[in-house]
Amino acid sequence: MPLPDDDQHIFAVDVADYGLWIQRNLLEKFLRGPVRRDWRFKRHKGAIRIGWGRKPSGLRADRIAARTGARVWRLEDGFLRSHGLGNHEPPLSIVVDDLGIYYDCNRPSRLERLISQQNTSSQDEEARRIATKWREARVSKYNCHPEFSGELPDDYVLVADQTRNDSSILYGAASAASFETMLNAAIHENPNSHVVVKTHPDVLDGKKSGYFSMDIAGRSRNILLIADRVHPVRLIERARKVYTVTSQIGFEALIWGKPVRTFGMPFYAGWGMTEDEISPPAERKRIDIEDLIHAALVGYPTYNSNTDVSRYLRPGYFIDIP
């Protein structure tokens, strides 16, 4: 299981991080070590601080580590997360990062380091097998919604909306203006094609807001808004090109062999495989798609039940997907 190291550790969360604490049994399975709770005047010496990415618990872990000299491991959901949405099901995989976190382009991450390492020939073969299985199983990060069954244009580009103020936007060199720039580019760069805009599932429930409103279709007769709770795979599969800011849909589109245009700096941009609106960090050099796939789906995540990604890439594993 890919963790920053194979040693046995004790992990600590602050008393304020109740959400992490109530998930300690799950986290202990992933981390292979006990999770303890402490407070300001009684810290667990030698314990590794853990927290969720750049969320409050992760930022708190960073602050405590800066004062105490402790190590920090930042956690996030893996790129193949679960059948249902995050608030309904525990994750099948998480990522553990001792350098940064994958969506923060302002500092190095363990994923960035893994991507930049050249694969062996066996790792290239494994990455190609995983990509094939990913497409055959028709999976995505979440896998609880039906495929889109409506009529799609013969020729279209796909534009991915996201939830407002998502961490990958805040730390991915993007803003609300990035979405406006993306939509304008999709329209003007493809004057003879339709533009299919896919909203994020959480926006439809009213739990979160996105960057595109429901009246977006009025901006151009070529815009088709898909505001249903649908699995994104068919939309990616049929698209001629995919436009993203920092959405994981861009990574999945690369697995499907689609051209991808980015307007932020997600983990899959800046490696020579995407057309990027902004300049990437200097550390990102040209790589092969196999390097990206192996790092993101094998080297970086830790999977539940001491298994690997292949377990979840069988057609029919997620029974709601035909």
For the stretch 95-133, pLDDT in tens is: 999 999 999 999 999 999 999 998 999 999 999 999 999
Residue 107's CB is within 10 A of a number of other CB atoms, namely: 11
Residue 310 vs residue 104, higher pLDDT = 104
CA distance 223 to 233: 19
CA distance 267 to 22: 30
**pLDDT for the residue 202:** 63
**pLDDT for the residue 98:** 97
Tell me the per-residue pLDDT of 248-292, one tens digit each, with 9 for 90 and over.
999 999 999 999 999 999 999 999 999 999 999 999 999 999 999
Average pLDDT (131-158) is 92
**pLDDT for the residue 1:** 47
Residue 127's CB is within 10 A of a number of other CB atoms, namely: 23
Could you say which of 3.40.50, 3.30.2420, 3.30.930, 3.30.110 is the CATH number of the domain covering 121-312?
3.40.50
**pLDDT for the residue 86:** 59
Q: Indicate the pTM of the whole model.
A: 0.92
Residues 283, 112 contacting (CB under 8 angstroms): yes
Q: Which two tokens stand for residue 94?
A: 């998480």
228 φ, ψ (degrees, to nearest 5): -95, 160
Tell me if residue 216 falls in helix, strand or coil. Answer: helix
Tell me: pLDDT of 322 over 50. Answer: no
Tell me the per-residue pLDDT of 164-187, one tens digit each, with 9 for 90 and over.
989 999 999 999 999 999 999 999
**pLDDT for the residue 206:** 62
Tell me the per-residue pLDDT of 200-222, one tens digit each, with 9 for 90 and over.
766 665 667 889 987 887 888 89
Tell me: pLDDT of 307 over 90. Answer: no
Tell me if residue 57 falls in helix, strand or coil. Answer: helix
Tell me: pLDDT of 319 over 50. Answer: no
Of the chain, the percentage scoring pLDDT greater than 90 comes to 75
Average pLDDT (225-236) is 92
Query: Taking every pair of C-alpha atoms in the chain, what is the biggest distance, in angstroms?
Result: 65
**pLDDT for the residue 315:** 53
Tell me: pLDDT of 229 over 80. Answer: yes
**pLDDT for the residue 289:** 98
Of the chain, the percentage scoring pLDDT greater than 70 comes to 90
Tell me the per-residue pLDDT of 55-70, one tens digit each, with 9 for 90 and over.
999 999 999 999 999 9
Tell me the per-residue pLDDT of 73-87, one tens digit each, with 9 for 90 and over.
999 999 998 776 756
Average pLDDT, the chain: 90
